[in-house]
């Protein structure tokens, strides 16, 4: 190779640098995304259920908080058997949430406020009330209508046993038997979740084409992208073999999401996402795909965010981490390394609509993460949980990449941990034979104004789940402009994250000793004390603290600080 051939011109070099800078600053690598759970965000018409006009009215509060984007959990037409994750029509808004016109108005308002909007897409299953499932039930075994879903004959002499041993994530068998038109028992259909959520057959080209069309429908309306529900389950192993007992080993969480087996994380799913990515790449401005994939290792997760697939995947290892410096260090280190390997940003998340809120979780003794907390269960220590949650959040918001916030965490909300069992709506409660509380406790309507009926959730004060007494003091208006409130901590942290470009910063000096986690991001030194004794703080200008600091330069337990320091100081 001659010298001429390797010479890069000044223009080439600067345009190359500009491309690299644009890539690093791409919102799909840096955004703080706020999750709205529509039933519980804000109600506009007094029926006690949140809706799209309610969201539109409250959007300025999110712009004011300083987030970059919103992820909206499902609002599609649905019988609400799994709070909207059972979609009957992917191209329409459920009347309980409003209309397509309400959706357009909400999207426009979000964009006017500089907020991007990511919608939830549920491709693994539909509702049993979807037109195609009704046609499948009416169709004969082996018909084209049935082939859009996963129907099989049962085992046993009369087909009376399910086709295989798969269990539903919500408890009980993953198969339900149908009745033929003459009333005799017929074939079985697969549902990895509730019986009202039949799994699509992703081997069927018609299903693939249909979803590409659904993507186009929302992209053409102007949405900024999709959060993809159970992205790791679309393809099942050929022949639908029984799940082996050994495949459940290592599942260390109570929700069973990390199980391996013939229904999870099959290589074929990646082909689907490559096709979706190619479609998204034809749209401008840039659109995002984010995977919800509870796969058992960070290296398997990184496969979902290879350059021609999705842009991001939720980092559930971070959410699952104990409040322990060594554990956190290891998760930060390994998730960053796994994503670097494929050139993807790392994401961070502590709460969502499927898990006990981190205020409550971190107020429990270390141990397996519970699937909901009931009145008779050991109760979290709220003050300890709040203190740790604030420290964990401040640590999270100092990390490069994207962060996901779940509505209400900016208020320091705990779960409702003494909800009347009769009010539970999560199908998990019923399907587990009333052994697992499920996720209602983290889905309670938000408190906006302490002195309004229903804490300002909507006119008249109705709320589809009761709000716990603790929510009054935590209402947004009680925290606004109040020094030291959780809301103000989030607001300041988000402003500083932006000012110091932390999302694109270089992480260095990651270290955990004696319960203290330290790291540097650009000019910032971050110290989190997860231990039980105060430790000395490095010298530097204090930018943020998750709790009040005593005189004398010591960092108390369960506290995180951001400091401006010249360089790394021991
Ligand atoms: C994951 C969603 O986050 C959860 O709420 C839902 O129940 C399941 N997927 C099934 O769609
Ligand atoms: Ca409503």
What's the Cα-to-Cα distance from 405 to each of 32, 50, 458, 474, rounded to whole Å?
7, 18, 22, 17
What's the Cα-to-Cα distance from 326 to each of 296, 350, 465, 515, rounded to whole Å?
20, 17, 38, 7
Any alpha helices (H) in 26-130, and if so which ranges? Answer: 27-30, 52-65, 100-112
- The Cα–Cα gap between 411 and 473 comes to 10
- The Cα–Cα gap between 307 and 23 comes to 12
Burial 327-361 (b: 16+ CB within 10 A, else e): bbbebbeebbebbeeeebbbbbbbbbbbbbbbbbb
Residue in the block written with tokens 């909300």: 413
Query: Of 241, 296, 302, 247, which is closest to residue 270 (Cα–Cα)?
Result: 302
The β-bridge partners of 72 are: 36, 119
409 CB near ligand 1 (under 6 Å):
no
Q: What confidence score (pLDDT) does residue 149 get? A: 99
Show the tokens assigned to 570. 């021991």
- The Cα–Cα gap between 293 and 347 comes to 13
- The Cα–Cα gap between 444 and 422 comes to 15
Q: Whats the size of the chain, residue-wise?
A: 570
The CA 171 to ligand 1 mean position distance, Å, reads 14
The protein residues having their C-beta less than 5 angstroms from ligand 2 (an ion) are 43, 45, 47, 49, 51
- The Cα–Cα gap between 562 and 502 comes to 11
- The Cα–Cα gap between 5 and 25 comes to 31
The CA 192 to ligand 2 mean position distance, Å, reads 30
> Atom 3, ligand 1: which residue's CA is nearest?
354
Q: For the beta carbon of residue 104, count every other beta carbon within 10 angstroms.
A: 14
Any alpha helices (H) in 362-408, and if so which ranges? Answer: 382-396
Query: Of 458, 68, 444, which is closest to residue 288 (Cα–Cα)?
Result: 68
Q: What confidence score (pLDDT) does residue 258 get? A: 55
Query: Of 294, 362, 295, which is closest to residue 328 (Cα–Cα)?
Result: 362
By DSSP bridging, strand 312-313 and strand 175-179 are unpaired
Q: Which ligand is nearest to the CA of 53?
A: 2
Q: Are 133 and 176 in contact (CB under 8 A)?
A: no
Q: What confidence score (pLDDT) does residue 259 get? A: 67
What's the Cα-to-Cα distance from 396 to each of 60, 244, 312, rounded to whole Å?
24, 37, 16
5 is catalytic: no
Sequence-distant (≥ 6) Cβ neighbours of residue 14 within 8 angstroms: none
316 CB near ligand 1 (under 6 Å):
no
511 is catalytic: no
The β-bridge partners of 560 are: 528
82 CB near ligand 1 (under 6 Å):
yes
- The Cα–Cα gap between 120 and 85 comes to 9
| pLDDT by 10s per residue, the chain, length 570 | 444 555 678 787 778 888 777 778 899 999 999 999 999 999 999 999 999 999 999 999 999 999 999 999 999 999 999 999 999 999 999 999 999 999 999 999 999 999 999 999 999 999 999 999 999 999 999 999 999 999 999 999 999 999 999 999 999 999 999 999 889 999 999 999 999 999 999 999 999 999 999 999 999 999 999 999 999 999 999 999 999 877 754 444 444 455 689 999 999 999 999 999 999 999 999 999 999 999 989 999 999 999 999 999 999 999 999 999 999 999 999 999 999 999 999 999 999 999 999 999 999 998 899 999 999 999 999 999 999 999 999 999 999 999 999 999 999 999 999 999 999 999 999 999 999 999 999 999 999 999 999 999 999 999 999 999 999 999 999 999 999 999 999 999 999 999 999 999 999 999 999 999 999 999 999 999 999 999 999 999 999 999 999 988 899 999 999 999 876 555
- The Cα–Cα gap between 409 and 246 comes to 37
Query: Of 164, 148, 166, 143, which is closest to residue 203 (Cα–Cα)?
Result: 148
Angle value at C-alpha 509, between 507 and 514, nearest 5 degrees = 125
The CA 86 to ligand 1 mean position distance, Å, reads 9
Residue 315 phi, psi dihedral angles, 5° rounding: -95, 85
Measure the N-to-C terminal CA separation of the chain; round to a whole number of Å.
48
Angle value at C-alpha 468, between 466 and 472, nearest 5 degrees = 110
Residue in the block written with tokens 């038997």: 177
Q: Which ligand is nearest to the CA of 316?
A: 1
E strands within 51-145?
A: 69-72, 76-77, 89-93, 116-121
Sequence-distant (≥ 6) Cβ neighbours of residue 99 within 8 angstroms: 52, 93
């Amino acid at each position: 190779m001659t010298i001429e051939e390797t010479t890069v011109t000044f223009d080439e070099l600067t345009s190359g640098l500009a491309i690299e800078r644009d890539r690093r600053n791409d919102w799909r690598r840096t955004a703080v995304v706020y999750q709205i759970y529509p039933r519980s965000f804000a109600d506009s018409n007094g029926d006690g259920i949140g809706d799209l006009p309610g969201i539109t009215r409250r959007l300025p509060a999110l712009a004011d908080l300083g987030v970059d984007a919103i992820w909206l959990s499902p609002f599609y037409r649905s019988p609400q058997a799994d709070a909207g994750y059972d979609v009957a029509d992917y191209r329409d808004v459920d009347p309980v949430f409003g209309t397509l016109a309400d959706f357009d108005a909400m999207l426009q308002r979000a964009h006017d406020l500089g907020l991007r909007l990511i919608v939830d897409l549920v491709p693994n299953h539909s509702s049993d009330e979807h037109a195609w499932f009704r046609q499948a039930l009416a169709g004969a075994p082996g018909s084209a209508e049935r082939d859009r879903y996963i129907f099989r004959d049962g085992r046993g002499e009369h087909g009376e046993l399910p086709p295989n041993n798969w269990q539903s994530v919500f408890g009980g068998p993953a198969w339900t038997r149908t009745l033929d038109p003459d009333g005799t028992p017929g074939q079985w259909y697969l549902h990895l979740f509730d019986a009202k959520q039949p799994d699509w057959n992703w081997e069927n080209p018609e299903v693939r084409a249909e979803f590409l069309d659904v993507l186009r429908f929302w992209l053409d309306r102007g949405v900024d992208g999709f959060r993809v529900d159970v992205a790791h389950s679309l393809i099942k192993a050929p022949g639908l073999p029984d799940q082996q007992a050994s495949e459940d080993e290592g599942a260390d969480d109570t929700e069973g999401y990390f199980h391996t087996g013939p229904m999870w994380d099959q290589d074929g799913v990646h082909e689907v996402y490559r096709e979706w990515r190619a479609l998204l790449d034809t749209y401008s401005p840039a659109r995002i795909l984010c995977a919800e994939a509870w796969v058992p290792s960070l290296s398997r997760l990184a496969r979902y965010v290879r350059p021609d697939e999705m842009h991001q995947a939720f980092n559930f290892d971070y959410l699952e981490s104990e409040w322990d410096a060594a554990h956190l260090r290891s998760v930060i280190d390994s998730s960053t390394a796994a994503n670097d390997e494929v050139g993807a940003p790392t994401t961070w998340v502590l709460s969502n609509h499927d898990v006990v809120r981190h205020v409550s979780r971190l107020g429990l003794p270390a141990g397996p993460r519970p699937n909901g907390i009931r009145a008779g269960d050991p109760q979290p220590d709220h003050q300890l949980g709040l203190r740790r949650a604030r420290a964990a959040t401040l640590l999270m918001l100092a990390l490069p990449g994207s962060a996901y916030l779940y509505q209400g965490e900016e208020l320091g909300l705990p779960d409702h941990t003494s909800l009347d069992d009769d009010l539970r709506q999560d199908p998990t409660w019923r399907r587990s034979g009333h052994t697992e509380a499920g996720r209602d406790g983290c889905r309670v309507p938000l408190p906006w104004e302490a002195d309004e009926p229903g804490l300002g959730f909507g006119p008249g004060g109705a709320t589809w789940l009761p709000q716990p007494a603790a929510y009054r003091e935590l209402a947004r208006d009680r925290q606004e402009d109040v020094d030291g409130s959780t809301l103000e901590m989030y607001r300041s942290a988000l402003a500083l994250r932006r000012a110091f470009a932390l999302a694109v910063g270089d992480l260095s000096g990651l270290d955990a000793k004696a319960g203290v986690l330290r790291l540097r991001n650009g000019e910032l030194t971050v110290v989190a004390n997860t231990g039980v004794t105060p430790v000395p703080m490095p010298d530097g200008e204090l930018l943020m603290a998750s709790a009040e600091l005593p005189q004398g330069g010591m960092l108390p337990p369960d506290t995180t600080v951001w400091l401006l320091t010249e360089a790394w100081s021991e």
